[in-house]
Amino acid sequence: MHYIYRSISGKFQSAFRSGKILILYGPRQVGKTTFVRSFLDTQPKSRYFQCEQAQIRAVLSSCDLPRIMTMIGDADFVIFDEAQVVENIGTALKVLHDAHPEIQIIVTGSSSFDLQSRIIEPLTGRHRDFMLFPFLYGELRDDYGNSFIERYSLEDRILYGSYPESLNPSP
C-alpha cells in the first residue's frame, strides 16, 4: 500500500513524549489508522489496540489499572484505535496516564462528538487534539506530482473528495 505523507505529521510527532495523550479525530476513511500505525515502527516498544475488539473494549471499560497494564505489557508507546466505542474511555485513559505518564498514549476516533464527550472532562489538561482531514491538495501534489493533480480534476475532487479510497478505486 502506498503511504502519502500527511502535513500534520511533523506537529503530531513533535508532540510525542510531551507528557500528553495525543488524540486524533477525523471522519471515517481519511486514513487515521494508517497514519498512527506509520509511527509504530519508529517506536521500539509499541503496541496497537483496535478498540472494536470485545476483549480490548472490556479491559479498557473496566478502568482496572492492573488489567490494563497486563494488556499493555512493557510497551511505552500505545495506540487505542476507534476509542469512541469504549465505555468509560476517558476515565480509563486518565487512570493509565496518571499512573504511567511515561507511556505515550495515542487515541483515534471517527466520531469526534462521541469521543470528545467521553474524554474531555476526565482528561482536562492531559491531552492534545489533532484533526486529520481528507488529503490536502499539497499532500497529493508533493507525493504524486503535478501531472497527477492535473488529471485529478477539480470536479472529481468536489464530487468524490480527497479520501484515500477515491484516489485508489477498486478495479
d(CA 89, CA 93): 6
pLDDT string in tens for the chain (171-residue length): 577 889 999 999 999 989 999 999 988 888 899 999 999 888 989 999 999 999 999 999 999 999 999 999 999 999 999 998 999 999 999 999 999 999 999 999 876 656 666 666 777 788 999 999 888 778 877 877 777 667 766 777 666 666 666 665 444
Q: Which amino acid appears at position 138 of this protein?
A: G
How many CB atoms are located within 10 Å of the residue 74 CB?
A: 7
Domains in the chain (CATH in brackets) are 9-133 (3.40.50.300), 135-171 (no CATH)
pTM for the whole structure: 0.84
Query: pLDDT at position 74, please?
Result: 96
H helices of 65-163, in order, are 65-72, 89-99, 112-119, 137-144, 146-151, 154-160
> Which grid coordinates are listed for 83?
476509542
